[in-house]
Amino acid sequence: MTDQEIDLSSTDLFDIQRSMRAMRRLKPDPVPDALITKILEAGICAPNGGNTQKWRFLVIKDAEVKKAVQHYYKRAYDEVQKPRHDAHAPKEPGPALDQHHRNEKAIEYLTDHFHEAPVWIVACAEDAHSDAAATGASVYPAVQNMLLAARALGLGATLTARHLVFREEVEKLLGLPENFGSFAILPIGYPMGKFGPTRRIPVSEIAFLDNFDTPWPT
- The answer to whether residue 15 sits within a structural domain is no
Evaluate whether 27 touches 190 at the Cβ level (below 8 Å): yes
- The answer to whether residue 83 sits within a structural domain is yes
- The answer to whether residue 201 sits within a structural domain is no
Full strand arrangement of the beta sheet holding 180-189: 55-60, 119-126, 180-189, 156-157
pLDDT in tens, the chain (218 residues): 344 466 677 788 999 999 898 999 999 999 999 999 999 999 999 999 889 899 999 999 999 999 999 999 999 999 999 888 888 878 888 888 878 788 889 899 999 999 999 999 999 998 876 655 566 888 999 999 999 999 999 999 999 999 999 999 999 999 999 889 999 999 999 999 889 888 888 999 999 999 999 999 98
- The answer to whether residue 4 sits within a structural domain is no
CA dihedral 181, 105, 21, 3 (to 10 degrees): -160
Count of structural domains, the chain:
1
According to DSSP, the residues that pair with 189 across neighbouring strands are: 156
Q: Domain holding 51: CATH number?
A: 3.40.109.10
- The answer to whether residue 181 sits within a structural domain is yes
What pTM was estimated for this model as a whole?
A: 0.89
- The answer to whether residue 10 sits within a structural domain is no
